Amino acid sequence: MTETRTSNPKKISRGPLDGVVIIDLSSVVVGPVCSLTLADHGAQVIKIEAPSGDLMRQLGGGGRNPGMTGKFINFNRNKKSVCIDLKSPTGKEVMLRLISQADIFITNIRPDALEKLGLDWVSLHESNPQLIYCQMLAFGRGGQYFNRPAYDTVIQSSAGVAATFEKSSGEPRFVPLVMTDHITGLVSAQAIGFALYRRTRVGQGELIEIPMFETAAAFVLREHMGNMTFEPAIGPIGDARVLDKNNRPVKTMDGYISISPNTDAQAFAFFEVIGRPELKDDPRFSNVASRTKNSEAYYLLRSNSLANKTSAEWIVIFEKNDIPCMRYNSLEDLMIDPHLQEVGFISEAEHPSEGMIKQLGLTNQFSGGVRTEFLPAPRLGENTLEIMQEFGFTAEEIETAVEQKAVFKFV
């Protein structure tokens, strides 16, 4: 049976995941990216923290108050913080009762530690068969690296990300943002969406395992396996066009600009505007295949052709000729980018404990409605008592848990 579809669905102002309850036992970046994505689209995310708090409360720069760095605030809005000592029997019982009423459990804690806590998939599935259990791993189950600890840089190094820099510049480097954490977190959120859909059909939850290493390796190899896709290989590994040392923003009279004339029409228009129309008949550049084969020469040409005009002048010329181009933004420029300002992507908001802050808008839009009211990133344990009451704990049970230091509310 197919669903009836309408062109004007009823809007859900709290987002498409409104009503979905998530217990989030994750920290730093990879797990919080996943739960942030789901929270931003309407899910109720209950962030479980140890008494010491998420490490990101201390990393990533300063803040106005202890435990509330700017980076923590950016990764943890629309969540509620519950502080539990999971080593305490009472704390563990509180955790299990919360999970028993949840739709999704998210964690990036290593499997052996979860098993010791009784928070492994088998144990939780038995008490909540509809639970979707998403575990972010450093390395996939079954391989020799399984259960090793890792952070983003470890994965960038092992999964070939750093090697792409060595190929292009002669020196292995890390992308200066925790890229594999972001990618794995987003892939995890995507996988949870798939599992939620399947649950509507079969009525059962499931275990999802998302390994950072394999996820990052897939990104690198889909891009660069190329000639080695074939058996035997028909050439060296790596997309030479992408790895070329001159594949970077191009220097202009007053700064930089990015250009990507890839189709024949775009390339020939580029040759015209730089005053080299004869190049369209040059066998190195006369078609896509030739320019790909001679990418080093093509990139060098681009790098040496724009120093006689300003970035703004080139943008006008390239836009007029339908050549893909864009201004180069420094990190400071990005904060005041005119397009981002026009779409309202960066706005100001009053945080109840941290004062005025800047916050990022949603990057995705749904015609059926999106979340319009954002919750501020929580202080450690700010919502402990509130959530326990909401989940049916009695006043006596809450008081006992607090007295036993099984749960905490810090102010």
Q: What is the pLDDT of residues 88-141, one digit of tens each?
A: 999 999 999 999 999 999 999 999 999 999 999 999 999 999 999 999 999 999
Instruction: Measure the CA–CA gap between 57 and 353, rounded to whole angstroms.
Output: 14
Provide CATH code, domain 250-327: 3.30.1540.10
Of 107, 35, 93, 2, which Cα lies nearest the Cα of 378?
Answer: 35
What are the tokens at 264? 């024949």
What are the tokens at 42? 């309407």
Instruction: Give the per-residue pLDDT at 210.
Output: 98
155 within 8 A of 148, measured Cβ to Cβ:
no
Q: Is domain 21-219+347-408 classified as CATH 3.40.50.10540?
A: yes
3-class SS of residue 100: helix
Q: H or E stretch including 46? A: strand 44-49
In the predicted model, what is the mean pLDDT of the chain?
95
Of 61, 137, 49, which Cα lies nearest the Cα of 98?
Answer: 49
Instruction: Give the per-residue pLDDT at 18.
Output: 96
Q: Tell me: the pLDDT tens digits for 308-338? A: 999 999 999 999 999 999 999 999 999 999 9
As a whole-number percent, the residues of the chain with pLDDT over 90 amount to 95
> Would you say residue 290 has pLDDT above 60?
yes
Model confidence band, residue 6 (pLDDT cutoffs 50, 70, 90): very low
Task: Write the DSSP symbol of residue 228.
Answer: G
Instruction: Give the per-residue pLDDT at 2.
Output: 36
Q: Where are the domains of the chain?
A: 21-219+347-408, 250-327
Kindly report the number of other CB atoms within 10 A of residue 191's CB atom: 17
Contacts of 47 (CB under 8 A, 6+ apart): 24, 32, 35, 54, 76, 79, 80, 81, 82, 378
22 within 8 A of 44, measured Cβ to Cβ:
yes
What are the tokens at 120? 């492994």
Strand pairing of 104-107 and 132-137? parallel
Select the highest-mean-pLDDT range: 5-14, 56-65, 163-172. 163-172
Q: Tell me: the pLDDT tens digits for 154-169? A: 999 999 999 999 999 9
Instruction: Give the per-residue pLDDT at 9.
Output: 52
12 within 8 A of 367, measured Cβ to Cβ:
no
Model confidence band, residue 410 (pLDDT cutoffs 50, 70, 90): confident
Q: Tell me: the pLDDT tens digits for 332-391? A: 999 999 999 999 999 999 999 999 999 999 999 999 999 999 999 999 999 999 999 999
Instruction: Give the per-residue pLDDT at 323.
Output: 97
Model confidence band, residue 10 (pLDDT cutoffs 50, 70, 90): low
pLDDT: which is higher, 299 or 1:
299
Give 267-297 as a DSSP string.
HHHHHHHTT-GGGGGSTTTSSHHHHHHTHHH
> Would you say residue 12 has pLDDT above 70?
no
Of 353, 362, 227, which Cα lies nearest the Cα of 292?
Answer: 227
**Residue for token digits 């925790």?**
178
Q: H or E stretch including 311? A: helix 311-320
Give the mean model confidence (pLDDT) for residues 236-255.
95
Q: Tell me: the pLDDT tens digits for 59-82? A: 878 899 999 999 999 999 999 999
74 within 8 A of 360, measured Cβ to Cβ:
yes
Q: Helix, strand, coil shares of the chain as percentages rounded to 5?
A: 40, 15, 45
- Sheet with strand 104-107: strands edge to edge: 207-211, 132-137, 104-107, 21-25, 44-49, 79-84, 407-408
Which ranges of 107-209 would DSSP assign to H, the alpha helix?
111-117, 121-127, 152-158, 161-169, 179-202
